[in-house]
Chain A
Amino acid sequence: MDKLVFAGMDGIIILSIFAIIMLVIGYFSGKGQTNLHHSLSGYYLAGRNLGFIALFFTLYATQYSGNTIVGYAPTGYRTGFSWLQSISFMTIIIGIYLLFAPRLYVVSKRRKFVTPTDWLEFRFKSKAVTLLSIFLMLWGLGNYLLEQLVAIGQAVAGMTGGTIPYEIAVVAFVLVMLTYEWMGGMKAVAFTDVMQGLVLMVGVFVFLAGALYLVGGSFSDVTRYIADNEPAKLGVPKMEVSVNWFSMLVLVGLGASIYPHAVQRIYSAESERTLKKSFARMAWMPPITTGLVFVVGICGIMLFPGLDTAGSEQLVGLMANKIAAINGFYYWMMIIFFGGIVAAIISTADSVLLSFSSMLSNDVYGKFVNPNASEHRKVMVGKIGGIIAIFFLLMIAWNPPGTLYQIFVLKFELLVQVFPAFVLGLYWKRLAAKPVFWGMLIGAVVAGLLTLTGYKTVFGIHGGVIGLTANFIICVVGSMLVTVSADESLKKEEMAVLELEA
């Protein structure tokens, strides 16, 4: 990002204050919780006891990352009004949650699940399904985490005008994140999310206000400008764009709801009432988050006409520069806003890391390496494994890819293949392990190959969605054909766990 007029010492001060607040919250989350580090559910699920405020903000701050601003505004700038899809695909996630969260919540409490894999293992009793799903989920999480690490560096470097070099910025914030996560686990992650989510919300509103101020206060003027100069950006989208829009709804809806860290937030809810109230509130967040970012991107078309792809990626920085120059109030608000972007990235990264660690602890180590280990030991393995993974990913992050959005789609393609097993398994007793395994594998191979060979979309449909369709068909047809032997099918008392009426 170019040098920002507000860059330098002021930025460093605000970032340092944010870092200290996060550490203090982390410290108090873990203080006096002797049980925290000796129990998987205590450390990874905050003792299954998150109340409404913490649960809502942790859902919010985890789902909306700094990329939602830094990456989505440029996309809006480049594609124009058809980027309205970003509001709808963030909203549809709640609809997909309604497909499975109500029952999964009940089952997870009854069986004390810690990770999404616990559910798949309970349901299918198949090593192959368990291993493949662990692989797909860890892959998705790792890629997602990598994306956040890349973004932290870019945001901090932008904010401080390069005063803090990229690498040092990333390492400093990763250390802050690792420290509070080490101290308080999920509790620290959720409580810091309250602070990080609030800063993000306020920041987006102020940023929008600044952008509207710059365009003379009237969004209609912007639209008229676009109609005169770049009419393609407000025309009715071509059929292929609409197909792609549908495809995004499927891919993001199914993918984002099934993210391991998203599933673990269902497990962590204090009660059903807390969970549904949080989701009900989340359904309103896309218009005031991605919706406002969309408006900002559109305003950018008038403020900075003619940017190429690489240039448009800098849109938020360019705009913040201009807004900060309006007056002293906007100057400080922009610094806080950029701090908010960093906070939002951290709030997503910490959740993903925690989920990653929990799968190392509970799934890889606890199921395959040393099932008899104490919970304390398992927690330790996850914590240390997470730190090793972070530094491995950092090596990759030093060579960040061109645009953020590309990798965003990539991670969904594979992760979403867990969906049929995860959700069909809740309701359809015949769903059998073998077809589930082959469906998942073939779906992932199809999605991966299409993406790698440059067919990220075919007629606007994402490779991940095509793989998912194959996956669903194999699961359903395969399960109808397979005759299940007595010991493979779920035992009666186990099946009862899935029944809701007592």
Chain B
Amino acid sequence: MKTKSVKEPIRKKWIWVLLFINTLLIVPWYFPKSAVEPFIFGFPLWAFVSTFFTLVLGAYLSWLCLSQWNIVEDEEENAKGKGDVNHG
């Protein structure tokens, strides 16, 4: 029996560990009171760092969707190619 490779995010621990670390870096609990200056692009230092990691989160999630998720895609796309997919 041929086992096809299924990619499902829930099965990969590293995805969730990184996601958790990323979240810890977004929330500004770890900054000292003085982390206001310098201002970078008009953002106080802490806010700039937090926003940077928020953007990292968006990029990471977007990448995860596209590259770590493949369960029935091949099947569906093959079927579509043959014209016999008819949902609904």
Contact = CB atoms under 8 A, between A and B. Distances in A.
A binds B: yes
Interface of A: 39, 41-42, 45, 47-49, 81-82, 84-85, 87-88, 91-92, 94-95, 98-100, 102-103, 105-106, 109, 218-224, 227, 231, 234-237, 239, 242-243, 245-246, 249, 270-273, 276-277, 279-281, 283-284, 286-287, 291, 427, 500-501
Q: How large is the interface on B (under 10, 10 to 19, 20 to 34, 35 or more residues)?
A: 35 or more
Contacts of A287: 54-55, 58
Contacts of B62: 94, 280-281, 283-284
A283 B58 CA distance: 5
B83 interface: no
Contacts of A271: 73, 76-77, 80, 85
Given A231-B36, A283-B58, 11 more contacts: A49-B88, A84-B50, A84-B54, A94-B62, A98-B65, A99-B9, A223-B43, A236-B28, A236-B34, A249-B27, A501-B6
B66 A277 contact: yes
Given A41-B88, A277-B66, A500-B71, A234 B44 contact: yes
Contact of A236 (B4, B35, B65, B85): B35
B84 to A, nearest CB: 14
Question: Interface of chain A, helix or strand or loop or mixed?
Answer: helix
Question: Interface of chain B, helix or strand or loop or mixed?
Answer: helix
Contact of A98 (B6, B51, B69, B73): B69
A246 B27 contact: yes
Nearest 4 CB-CB pairings of A with B: A47-B88, A219-B42, A242-B29, A280-B65
Nearest to B33: A236
B65 to A, nearest CB: 4
A270 B54 contact: no
B76 A273 contact: yes
B16 to A, nearest CB: 8
B87 to A, nearest CB: 4
A55 to B, nearest CB: 13
Interface string B57-76: 11101111110011111001
A246 B23 CA distance: 8
B36 A235 contact: yes
Contact of A95 (B19, B36, B80, B87): B19
A237 B10 CA distance: 33
A249 B23 contact: yes
16 contacts: A47-B87, A47-B88, A49-B88, A84-B54, A92-B57, A98-B64, A223-B39, A223-B42, A224-B39, A234-B47, A236-B34, A277-B66, A283-B61, A427-B10, A500-B8, A501-B3
